Amino acid sequence: MSESPPTTPACYRHPGRETYIRCTRCDRPICPDCMRDASVGHQCPECVNEGRRSVRPARTAFGGGAAGRLGYVTKTLIALNVLLMILSIASDRGGDAAAGGAGFGGLMGGSTPLTDWGSVLGQALFPDGSVHGIAHGEWYRLVTAMFLHYGVVHLLLNMWALWVLGRSLEANLGPLRFLALYLVAGLGGNVAAYLFSPENGTTAGASTAIFGLFAALIVIERRMGRSISSVLPILVINLVFTLTVPGISVPGHLGGLVTGGVLALALAYAPRSRRGLFQLAGGAVVVVALLGLALVRTAMLVG
């Protein structure tokens, strides 16, 4: 009785292709189109995908994603601020939005319909007889104000600071934590402006968030054991400008500074075992406290 000759193995994904190569992980035969280079031999696509799922993504020292090293959030925030500056100039129809008027050396350009709509404002009677402001339900102003600017020079100064501070913080914190820091610090500065500015005064600019980033960078650098000698002089210079240059919102800058520092403490010193939960809780407490203060201010204005 004669024996049948052994059959040549076929690729498990392409049965019509004969092959003697096997996946080093599951031992199934694979053809050249299905081979994926591995540290030893070759693997099939399914084993490669399964291995990727089992590998934990790289994290920063504070639990954030390593994608922050690419600075995508920083770049997006800058692009958004620039876009809104362009829209603000377009809405002005020949006014002084680009470089005119108020403030030190044109630092604070004139208002536009867009800044009138989105700046921090307690309450004010507009020329058309309508009353606008946060006290009258326009709570969005506490957010939109951190993306609007009075003049191109004002925008450029803030975007330069965001570029310098943002890349470092985003790389250390990760994209989501950095974005939360920026938004909450900006909110804190705008709430402070709402609390301590005249009810008919307007405030806008990314400076509220920028000052929060200054404070956060100091906290983060100290937590990582690094020197802050290069950061402090820049912060002091900005504080001097805040306190001496007319037209700058002192409450907004200081409010952002304090808020950013407090949130950075929660991000940097959360216990490793439950870091994400403590960081989330710390951020939530800060936001709730800010909204509570805004409610108090509203009650004072409309009461």
Within 10 Å of residue 128's Cβ, how many Cβ atoms? 6
Of 207, 227, 229, 249, which residue is the catalytic one? Answer: 207
Strand partners, 203: 120
* SS3 assignment for the chain: CCCCCCCCCECCCCCCCECCCECCCCCCECCCCCCEECCCCEECHHHHHHHHHHCCCCECCCCCEHHHHHCHHHHHHHHHHHHHHHHHHHHHCCCCCCCCCCCHHHCCCCCCHHHHHHCEECCEECCCCCEECHHHCCCCHHHHHHHCCCCHHHHHHHHHHHHHHHHHHHHHHCHHHHHHHHHHHHHHHHHHHHHHCCCCCEECCCHHHHHHHHHHHHHHHHHCCCCCCCCHHHHHHHHHHHHHCCCCCHHHHHHHHHHHHHHHHHHHCCCHHHHHHHHHHHHHHHHHHHHHHHHHHHHHHHC
Q: For residue 229, indicate whether it is catalytic.
A: no
First CA to last CA distance, the chain = 106
Q: Put residue 71 in one of left, alpha, beta given phi > 0 → left and psi -120 to 50 → alpha.
A: left
Q: What amino acid is encoded at 256 in this protein?
A: G
Q: For residue 2, indicate whether it is catalytic.
A: no
Looking up tokens 């985003």 gives: 170
CA distance 145 to 139: 11
Q: Which residues are catalytic?
A: 207, 253
